[in-house]
Amino acid sequence: MSTTAENIQRQISENPVLIYMKGSPQLPQCGFSAQTVQALMSCGERFAFVNVLDNPDIRAELPKIANWPTFPQLWVEGELVGGCDIVVEMHQSGELEKLVKAAAQRAGAAEGSDNA
């Protein structure tokens, strides 16, 4: 049986674009998660998500691993991008879309398919 930390590491490594959020992309359960997921969705690429409200172990452990205390957390290619303020700023500058599209393109090329 794997530990919570191992599960988190696996999720981050297996998903080129991953958001840890409160709720789901279709039904965010906090304003910050809603803003972040909206910015991410506007990039037009597929992404994975983990609802930390359904996973209290991840909600407790991830801030220690990431050294980032709050949610949402956006991870791209194994690197923490940041939370709501950073993601929204990156979206407004056009930087987020470039980052997400490049990650999706590399993941597609590596897999040779479009599965997430």
Annotated binding site for [2Fe-2S] cluster: 30
Q: Fill in the amino acid letter for 16.
A: P
The pair of three-digit structure tokens given for residue 22, joined into one six-digit string: 């409160």
| CA atoms of 63 and 46, how far apart (whole Å) | 24
Residue numbers in the known binding site for glutathione are 22, 59, 71, 84-85
| CA atoms of 77 and 96, how far apart (whole Å) | 13
**Strands in 1-116 per DSSP E:** 17-21, 48-51, 73-76, 79-82
Classified as helix, coil or strand, 6 is helix
Residue numbers in the known binding site are 22, 30, 59, 71, 84-85
Classified as helix, coil or strand, 22 is coil
